[in-house]
Amino acid sequence: MRPWLEGAWTQRALYFISDLHLSKDAPVRTQSFLDFCSEMPRDAGALFILGDLFDFWIHGRQVDESPAAETFSALAELVQNGIRVFCMPGNRDFALGTTVLERFGIEALADPCVLQVGGEAVLLTHGDLLCTDDRSYQRFRRFIRHPALLTTLRALPYPALRGLAHGLRRGSRRAVAQKDLRITDATAEGLSRAFLGQGPFALGGAPFARLIHGHTHRPGQEDLPGLGQRLVLGDWREDGAYFVRHDPSGWQLHHFPADEGGMDTSTS
């Protein structure tokens, strides 16, 4: 997976989304995303998916099932039309590996990673690493992503993995419901480490003037004194979601679909 990206981005628009949580139980949300792909403007240069494309990912056999089959078909079409597509693992689909993505021309991103845009190093991350007050989740994150455990899980039959995934999702929903909302949000400590390039964010290019992330489901755009600009992507719902667009005019947060229908690319 790539931790650093450079390219001739300044002349073509870049789009950033996250937290789609696509599943067979949410067909309207899947259709909204397919509409988003089909309405991608011609000036688009790249689409960055910053984690949780799917509600869960456990096995390569999912590529032949809905909604993965139609999702990857739509993304492959973007690639064929000259739009680069990048995908970062999230807390729900961290097992979605490079091998699967490359089948459809999608480029895998490490979490975190740095995007070089017009001489500026922009930090991209899913966002769960920013939630430092949620210590029980951070411990679970380290445990579930351990290479030895992942090797063991991948050896299990597909039906067993599906049952395990559904059990983990139920447990996660109960745990989140019982937590203070502040615990599941990015903390001042987490944001400071990200902008300064410390801890898990120790990458070239720090300190960073701009951070883009999802995970918290609290879309917004803010300037943090002494740090830089923070752009937070929105989770996808039946009525669409907030996304970030960069073009020669700058960085903006938008909503899809716009109130009048279609893709909103006006400044928010």
> 80: domain CATH number?
3.60.21.10
Domain assignment of residue 183, yes or no? yes
> ∠ CA(125), CA(70), CA(100), 5° rounding?
55
For residue 46, give the H/E element and its range: strand 44-50
pLDDT for res 260: 47
Instruction: Identify which of 198, 205, 193, 209 has the alpha carbon closest to the alpha carbon of residue 251.
Output: 209
Backbone angles phi, psi at 220, to 5 degrees: 175, 175
Domain assignment of residue 151, yes or no? yes
Neighbours of 192 (CB within 10 A): 18
Domain assignment of residue 228, yes or no? yes
Cβ-Cβ contacts under 8 Å for 135 (sequence gap 6 or more): none
pTM of the model: 0.91
Domain assignment of residue 264, yes or no? no
Give me the domain span that covers residue 60. 2-256
pLDDT for res 147: 86
Domain assignment of residue 267, yes or no? no
Cα 88 versus chain centre, distance: 6
Domain assignment of residue 262, yes or no? no
pLDDT for res 84: 95
242 bridge partner residues: 255
Instruction: Name residues of the chain where pLDDT drops below 70.
Output: 2, 6-10, 171-173, 175-181, 259-268
Number of domain units in the chain: 1
Domain assignment of residue 115, yes or no? yes
Domain assignment of residue 261, yes or no? no
Under DSSP, is residue 151 helix (H, G, I), strand (E, B) or coil?
Answer: helix
140 bridge partner residues: none
Written as six digits, the tokens of 73 are: 């078909």
* Distance (Å, whole) CA 45 – CA 212: 18
